[in-house]
Structure 1
Amino acid sequence: MTATTGSRAAEHEGRGPGSVRPGGVLSAMCLALALVTASMSALNLALPELAVDLSASTTSLTWIVDGYAVALSGLVLPMGALGDRLGRRAVLVAGAVVFGAAALAASDASGTTALIAWRAVMGFGAAMIMPGTLSTITAVLPPDQRPKGVAVWSGCAAAGVVVGMLVSGALLEWFSWRAIFVAGAAAALGAAAAALLLAPETKDAHRRRFDIAGAVCTALAPGALVYALIEGNDGGWGRARVVAGLAVAVLAAVAQVLLGLRTAHPLLDPRLFRIPGFRAGAVTIAVQFMAVFGFYFVGLQYLQLILGYSPLKSALALVPVALVVVPTSQTTPHLVDRLGVRTVMISGLLLLGSGLVALSRLDAGSGYLAFLGGLVLAGFGIGTTGAVGASAITGSLSRDQQGVASAMNDVTREVGAAVGVALMGSVFGSHYRSALPDVSRLPAVAADAVRDSPAGGLYVAERAGPEGAVLASAVKGAFMAGMSAALSTVAVVLAVAVCCLVRVPKRSPRPE
């Protein structure tokens, strides 16, 4: 992104300097950010209901969750650049309108295809909302308050995920999954109003040519990769469309780098990755969100399908994450000052990976306490890595480059989330099907339901008479096999990321 939000480059319109209240700006931007992140997680609680109500397979469920994340990750950079040109608050408010309208349409969807499409439009609206949140905070807050503001922003991003699940869990106690989208539309209206009332308009004072080629590449690369991951594990990696998806993802990424090196003002300058702190922060945030959102995809189904929790009880079961993440993210800047960036980054990823490994060793009879132990351990890692990753990126660049820092925070989070859901959903689905016993003796419709999703399998088992208990046990065993494989896969990715961070300087040099 070519954004600059420093005092020399940003224009604050519509308010005098004395009328801007940093606390109000921080509250408004965190509310908008929470809307975006809450919508990434809220639907995970409804997956069992969607599997039965819309006859959705695991692949369809993955797309329903990931359609939003793919659109958000691919469009967040272009929409951020648009906000730099037209005004960040204006684009944020327009995005909230798009988000709310798409959410209302999704609440009336009658099939998986329509629901996936409207979720993608919601992701487009979220891509208009998200870039302006951090760049507005870093532009408005005084320099001495910026690290704390970034830490609050990071904590709200993580807390918004849990709040979204709590709200959706409560709604699912009395209403259907459609109520989640209606609530999302109402929240979008509130976020737009808060931005208009509390935040100033900021934009880049220097008009630059929009990087159209870079925008196309940044949209294609994550979308094609996610498509290949989902379809490859579902139907085989050798199919032409899967190979084509991988090829498009690689070519788009390479083109992004080559064109970025030749463009005067690219959306994201590849040269920035030569800065150790910037590069390390990007890796840390990407793998953290890959792990977190991939976990939510399978972990919430574990609580409902294996432990038998209601949606609300499942959401409450994850509250300890928020209780750990928020204070941890607040103390992380002090840990960085004492221990250095490298030590805190690596420690955070190791904590997160250890939590996932502990969760991967659960079985159908483990219960909640064992689940909670792994969850809390992962929570410490989430709070640490989110704050230190964001601070490493913003701290590696000058004040006039904070628009770029905001863009990188956004895109790495969303790409990581999209790839994490696709990777864990695909690994989970393939191992679940492989671990199932032979169900060919069941009626064809029932056998397909069992193979398509664990929720469908348990639905069939409830109506299978005396043999239902055996089938339910087999479905739960297959579910645990898929969950273990998925969590173990992401734990390996985290281990690779730790190895990449070993050579990062202990303390990132401050920019001039």
Structure 2
Amino acid sequence: MSTQVQSARQTQHEEPLPAGYEKRWWALLFINISLLIIAIDNTILNVAIPSISIDLGATSAEIQWIIDAYGLIFAALLLTMGAVSDRYGRKRWLQIGVALFGLGSLAASFTESVETLIAARAFLGISAALILPSTLSLVISTFPKRERPQAIAIWAATFGIGVGIGPVVGGYLVEHFDWNAIFYVNVPVAIIAIIGGYFFITESRDENAPSIDYLGALLSIIGLFTLVFGIIRAGELGWGHSEVTAALGVAGIVLTSFIIWELLTPKPMLPMGFFRNLSFSSASLSIALVFFALFGTILFLTQYMQTILGFSPFGVGLRILPVAFSMGIASGISAQFTSRIGIKLTVAIGIFLTAAGLMFSSQFYDVDSSYGTIAVGMVLIGSGLGLAISPATDSIMGSVPESKAGIGSAMNDTTREIGGAMGVAVLGTILNNIYIDRVGELVTQLPALPEAALEAVTESIQAAHIVAASPQVPEQAATLIVNTANSAFVEGMTDAMFIGAVIMIASGVFALVALPNRLRAGAASHGAVEIAPSLQPAYATTNGAAAAVPTYQRAYLVPMPDNRATDATTVMTVLRDIYQGDVLVRIGGRVYRGLADAPQTRHRFAHIMRELADTLNASSQHGIEADPTQQYQQGSFPVQVAGGGRTDVSEVVTVLRDVYNGQLMVQYGGQLYHGFADVPATKAAFIALMRETAQLSKRSSAQQGFTTAPDAGAIIGQQPAPPQNPVTVINRRSTSEYPAVGD
């Protein structure tokens, strides 16, 4: 093998270790302690609601605000806080968030009125929005790429376990102390997280982060707040209520405005190009759907076991542990599954397991079910969730640049919150409608009871049990109320779980179709490049001469002869030869030399190449030229030529994207830009070209039966062997050839 190829391969596999690498596992410990606080807080309040209601004299509406104030503020601020942490430092914002969470918890523990408790819960939501995006982005910056799947699996398992043990911790504290204890228990944990994080977590930030997109932040906060508010209220009032439709209408208008603004502004808070990457968009939807199932299930199980089966709050918490433990174990082994069968299959299997658990529960849960039967459903649901969440999260974070880890993490967290809110609202609406319908029939059969009591019976199962326990209600009527309410609740719960199972089955099919099986080379290594990066000069020039530019590293670089930036002619040559000479494809038993030779796609490639030529001509006409002083880290050519393995169109797209967006430093109007796609004169053309290329790779390669040619020797009799070095690179200094992989 030539020295050049060996050096290129070595560069590809060697990775600089992150700062603080030697402390990474300690750092992960204190990152996860910070995460555990807010994970537990998602569910710890559920078992304390009856005590809070009695102690503070809270109405049903006030109780709902105590619950919702946290989630509303939390979800609304996630995107903004993720962007802020990228700019100002993730460790800094994590520590500030944990400190504020501790102070907010202390304040909540001393509240003596409903109003102050609601305010304290809202303050905790602000603090949690500072914490959650920073935890995952710090995992990304602390661990090298080869260790990230395992670290993310531990992070996801911690969150799942926290959600699962919340009712246990809450139940124990309420039974042995009082409801205030569920808040002040956070204070010592926060102190431990702050001290440990100060010594072991290494600061990271986006050194080239643009200034804060204030309008984008405002639009996202208003849009997400009204969206989550509308979803939550839909679960209480019904989807057709005027308050719900108004909130969702405002959310639609504001979020549409947010998207338009982010597409137009040169410094977007959330680059819309992320969503064109299926590893990002499909995994985000998968995350939302699994949390749809998780939050809906936890809500049902706590009410079912506490009200119908009669377990104490602490007993309910203990009996929900199978969800947490199975979720934690499955998250822990998900990295091994992903390495063997890929992201697509791992996520799909997890979603189908969750569907199986929901389907089992819908068929076998009853008013007198044994705990063993309940545990089977919980283990299936928890295992499926754990198996799906970790690789889907890894897919999201692996598809954004490391510099944008904060906003990527925030997007991951936002989809969780919206998915969870949708699960509670949609499945809760199904349960409530069936409950009201069944119990409504009962009311007509009851002896004369006060109107308020009759309304309470139809309001909720808890209220029905309170009415039945009243000494004014005859024993026969009380028994009828309890039996009917229990049966109605279980019927509504199991019907909702059945519908949830159907939704999860559809989600699993979606994951199989849409989710890439493995992160593409560029994405897995260094984060996917935006298809249309925001327009901003990379480095200014002084007196017309290019200023010194640091090495621009990427895992997969097209190696130019002199390891320098090249010009448009070279790009044209490289891309033409990639399409026409480097890729062997097999269609219907015949092998073609390059995708451009395949009859089903020839006209498509001709169109793309014409656009490419027009774009490059436009670039030269606008005075774009290569920066001759720019040095690049030499990588390996990801499209292998004859003599080695073959590749398919997805890798061609990766090369194309990286050449456009990162491999060339171009000078335009006295400024240097990272790649042609950054230049205003060609930005629109490159967006259109990449969109068409992405569609081609997704549709044509899959639908036309493209497969990798496994062995060049096996096809020599069918097709003349391609030359060993088919790609000739020309620039202003020299003419040379790429070395053939496998020499």
Work out whether the TM-score is over 0.5. Answer: yes
8 Å contact kept, 2:35–2:131 = yes
C-alpha distance in 2 between matches for 1:338 and 1:203: 33
Change (3 A) 1:306 1:50: farther
Change (3 A) 1:67 1:98: same
Secondary structure, in 3 states, of the residue corresponding to 2:204?
Answer: strand
Q: Which residue of 1 aligns with 2:215?
A: 213
Amino acid in the other structure paired with 1:37: A
Q: Which residue of 2 aligns with 1:387?
A: 390
C-alpha distance in 1 between matches for 2:248 and 2:213: 24
C-alpha distance in 2 between matches for 1:294 and 1:123: 20
Measured against aligned partners, the alpha-carbon deviations of 1:86-110 in whole angstroms (never above 9, x if no partner) come to 2222222222232223323333445
C-alpha distance in 2 between matches for 1:473 and 1:58: 23
Q: 2:504 aligns with which of 486, 490, 494?
A: 494
8 Å contact kept, 2:329–2:383 = no
Q: Which residue of 2 aligns with 1:3?
A: none
Q: Which residue of 1 aligns with 2:519?
A: 508
Secondary structure, in 3 states, of the residue corresponding to 2:369?
Answer: coil
Q: Which residue of 2 aligns with 1:5?
A: none
What's the offset of the Cα at 1:308? 0.9
C-alpha distance in 1 between matches for 2:284 and 2:137: 16
Q: Which residue of 1 aligns with 2:272?
A: 270
Q: 2:465 aligns with which of 458, 480, 483?
A: 458
What's the offset of the Cα at 1:469? 2.2
C-alpha distance in 1 between matches for 2:20 and 2:432: 56
8 Å contact kept, 1:70–1:418 = no
Higher relative contact order, chain-length normalized (CA < 8 Å, sep 6+): 1
Moved more, 492-501 or 274-283: 492-501
What's the offset of the Cα at 1:287? 1.1
CA RMSD of aligned residues (A): 2.6
Unaligned regions of 5+ residues in structure 2, if any? 1-17, 523-555, 557-743
Amino acid in the other structure paired with 1:453: S
C-alpha distance in 2 between matches for 1:207 and 1:347: 38
Rg larger for: 2
What's the offset of the Cα at 1:208? 1.2
Q: Which residue of 1 aligns with 2:67?
A: 65
2:359 aligned with 1:364: no
C-alpha distance in 1 between matches for 2:273 and 2:520: 16
C-alpha distance in 1 between matches for 2:124 and 2:180: 14
Amino acid in the other structure paired with 1:460: V
Amino acid in the other structure paired with 1:293: F
1:48-447 equivalence runs, <5 A: 48-50=50-52, 61-109=63-111, 114-361=116-363, 362-436=365-439, 437-438=442-443, 441-447=448-454
Q: Using structure 2 for the length normalisation, give the TM-score.
A: 0.63
Moved more, 46-55 or 266-275: 46-55
Measured against aligned partners, the alpha-carbon deviations of 1:293-333 in whole angstroms (never above 9, x if no partner) come to 12112211111111111111111112222322222112212
C-alpha distance in 2 between matches for 1:185 and 1:258: 42
Q: Size of the alignment, in residue pairs? A: 497
C-alpha distance in 2 between matches for 1:321 and 1:123: 25
C-alpha distance in 1 between matches for 2:120 and 2:433: 26
8 Å contact kept, 1:70–1:414 = no
What's the offset of the Cα at 1:274? 1.1
What's the offset of the Cα at 1:268? 1.8
Secondary structure, in 3 states, of the residue corresponding to 1:204?
Answer: coil
Which structure has more helix as a fraction of its residues? 1
C-alpha distance in 2 between matches for 1:433 and 1:56: 23
8 Å contact kept, 1:290–1:417 = yes
What's the offset of the Cα at 1:117? 3.7
Aligned residues: percent identity?
32
Q: Using structure 1 for the length normalisation, give the TM-score.
A: 0.89
Secondary structure, in 3 states, of the residue corresponding to 2:43?
Answer: helix
C-alpha distance in 2 between matches for 1:49 and 1:449: 19
C-alpha distance in 2 between matches for 1:424 and 1:193: 41
Q: Which residue of 2 aligns with 1:37?
A: 39
C-alpha distance in 2 between matches for 1:216 and 1:34: 29
C-alpha distance in 2 between matches for 1:406 and 1:131: 5
Measured against aligned partners, the alpha-carbon deviations of 1:441-473 in whole angstroms (never above 9, x if no partner) come to 333443344333322221222224513222221
C-alpha distance in 2 between matches for 1:489 and 1:220: 31
Unaligned regions of 5+ residues in structure 1, if any? 1-11
8 Å contact kept, 1:228–1:242 = yes
Moved more, 313-322 or 393-402: 393-402
8 Å contact kept, 2:230–2:245 = yes
Secondary structure, in 3 states, of the residue corresponding to 1:340?
Answer: helix
Measured against aligned partners, the alpha-carbon deviations of 1:349-400 in whole angstroms (never above 9, x if no partner) come to 1111221222233221223222111111111111111111111112223444
Amino acid in the other structure paired with 1:364: V
